[in-house]
Amino acid sequence: MSRILTFVFRRRGHGGRWHWTDIATWIWLIGGTILMFGPALWLVASSFKGPAQLAEFPPTLLPYIQQTAVVEGYDAPLPLYTATLEDGSVEVLAEIRRIGVNSQMVDPENPGERINVNIADRSPVREIGFATGNYVEPLVANNFLRFLWNSVFVTTMATLITLLTNSMAAFALSKYRFRGRDAVMLLIVATLMVPLSVILVPLYSVVNATGLLNTLWGVILPTVATPTGVFLLRQYMLTIPDELLEAARMDHASEWQIYWRIVLPLAAPALAVLAIFSVVWRWNDFLWPLIVLSQREHYTLQVGLNTYAGELNVQWHYILAMTVVTMIPVVLVFVFLQRFITTGIAGAGIK
């Protein structure tokens, strides 16, 4: 069974020996993992960096904070540095203050004696540490739960409606012959062409006219009729054998039941794909909610997150942290849904 699953390149791959395709596969996978996941992991690591460290050149891989030591005679903990002394020896010293290019330092073991070090000859002692404030502060300060709820609401409703309406339309477009079918299909595909960011103003006018401004439905509705979804589902449903529908018709099923009980379950892989996309899109939607929602109680996470983007300064440390937080649910959804993609079962009922 297992080797039935193996694929195009499997020709000589089995039998225990390694075929070049196996090696290529693993090179691709490992390389891909580094390339795809590496930057993302780095993003997560960076989200624990303080603002200063984020701006730091060259960037570090991991978040660090400078070590400090409490030194006798000084109230505040002092930052630690490795300093190269005049005699060439290297020591860990605590800095009292820096004046120009000179750093006044003290040996934590021996607080009495002050040492002057040129700042070019010292480097901070740092250890991996997490600026958890990046997470805590926005979460505490910013009505986060409210935003979360709004996002969940928007994402869930939009995804459900998307799946429902798109699959219905795709069903009609793939399994019925009627006049104007090609025209409808064409229309739907044609509207893929203009990006949302371009028709924002007209769309705003429409949403304004329908009274949906500053409501979550104003965020949900314009996005659910996504032509992409219809297109995707239709193409998949074309591969579902008509005979199954006919069998159901013979079983006294109404067209609605055929759609609901036969076509929908069989389109599960495509639906899962669309559901994943929809969740990702709606969850990450930013531009459109920004336009519709101008009142804090309606903000979605992404909108809330972007309040850290100012005119002249962007508080990246908060944005990164919140990006990571907002990513968690979608990752979970993906992990949950992706298993449905594996089953290409549509053809299985047919001889």
Partner 1 sequence: QDKVEVRVMWYSDGIEGEVMQDLLDRFEKTHPEIDVVLDNVAYQVIQEQLPIQLASGKGPDIARVTNLKEQAEHWLDLRDYVEDPAYWEANFGDRFDWMRPDGSDAIPGFMTQLTLTGGFANKTLFEQAGVEMPGDGATWDDWIAASKEVMESQQLPAAFAIDRSGHRISGPNASYGANYIGDDRMPAPIDDGTMTFASKLVDWTNQGLMLPEVWVSAAGTTYRAAADDFINAQIPFYYSGSWQIANLSTKIGDAFDWVATGSPCGSAGCSGLAGGAALVAIKYTRHPEEVAAVMDYLASEEILREFTERTLFLPAHKGVVEAGGLNFQSDDPNVAPALDKFISASTETLPFADALPAWKWANAYYGALVTRISQVMAGEISLEEARTLMDQDIADQVSAASQ
Partner 2 sequence: MAGFGKTLGRAVTWPLTLVARAVDPPLRVWQRWTGTGGMAAVFLAPNLAIFGVFVLIPLVLNFVYSMTGGTGILLDQRSFIGMEQYGRLLECEDYTRRITCREDQFWTAVTNTATFVIFQVTLMVTVSLITALILNRNIRGRGFFRAVFFFPVLLSPVVVGLIWRWILQRQGLLNLITVNLGLEPEVWLNDRFYAFAATVGVSTWAHMGFYTLILLAGLQAIPRDLYEAAEMDATPPMRVFRRITLPLLGPNFAVVLVLALIRGVQIFDEVYVLTGGGPGTSTLYLTQYIYEVGFASILRNPGLAAAASILMGAVLVVLTLLQLWFSRRAEGRRAR
Partner 3 sequence: MGRIVLKGITKSFGNAEVIHGIDLEIGEGELVVFVGPSGCGKSTLLRLIAGLDRPTSGRIEIDGEDVTRVSAADRGLAMVFQSYALYPHMTVRQNLSFGLENTRMPKSEIASRIDEAGRMLEIGDLMERRPTQLSGGQRQRVAIGRAIVRNPTAFLLDEPLSNLDAELRGTMRAELAQLHERLATTMIYVTHDQVEAMTLADRIVVLRKGMVEQVDTPLGLYNQPQNLFVAGFIGSPNMNFFRIRATGGSAELPGGLKVPVPCDGEVTIGIRPQNLKLAVDDAPALEGEIRLVEALGAETVIHADAVDGTPMVTVLSGQPALGAGQRIRLTFDELPHLFGTDGMRLNPH
- Both tokens of 325, joined, read 């937080």
Q: Which does 153 bind (CB under 5 to 8 A by kind): partner 2, partner 3, partner 1, none?
A: none
Quick check: 349 binds partner 3 (CB under 8 A)? yes
Quick check: 246 binds partner 3 (CB under 8 A)? yes
Cis peptide before 329 (omega within 30 of 0): no
Which among 80-88, 105-113, 128-136, 206-214 is the span making contact with partner 2, rule CB under 8 A?
A: 206-214
Q: Which x/- pattern, by CB under 8 A, does the window 294-313 give for partner 2?
A: --------x-----------
State which residue, 61 or 238, has the beta carbon closest to partner 3: 238
Q: What are phi and psi of 95, to 5 degrees?
A: -95, 130
Report yes or no: 302 and 289 within 8 Å, Cβ to Cβ: yes
- Both tokens of 259, joined, read 């759609």
DSSP letters of 128-178? E---THHHHHHHHHTTHHHHHHHHHHHHHHHHHHHHHHHHHHHHHHHH---
Q: How far apart are CA 80 and CA 68, in angstroms?
A: 5
Among 307, 323, 327, 337, binds partner 1 (CB under 8 A): 307
Quick check: 213 binds partner 1 (CB under 8 A)? yes
Of 150-189, which residues contact partner 1 (CB under 8 A)? none
Quick check: 244 binds partner 1 (CB under 8 A)? no
Strands 68-69 and 78-84: antiparallel
Which among 90-98, 101-109, 247-255, 295-303 is the span making contact with partner 3, rule CB under 8 A?
A: 247-255
Quick check: 116 binds partner 1 (CB under 8 A)? no
Among 48, 259, 281, 308, binds partner 1 (CB under 8 A): 308
- Both tokens of 87, joined, read 């005699």
Helix (H) or strand (E) run with residue 288 in it? helix 287-292
Among 183, 312, 328, 350, binds partner 1 (CB under 8 A): 312
Looking at the chain, how many residues does it have? 351
Q: Which of 290, 236, 302 is nearest to 263 (CA)?
A: 236
The residues that touch partner 3, with contacts defined as CB under 8 A, are 1, 3-4, 11-12, 14-16, 241, 243-244, 246-254, 257, 261-262, 265-266, 268, 345-351
Write out the residues near partner 1 by the rule CB under 8 A. 51-52, 55-57, 79, 95, 98, 100-101, 119-120, 141-142, 200-201, 204-205, 208, 213, 290-291, 294-296, 303, 306-313, 315
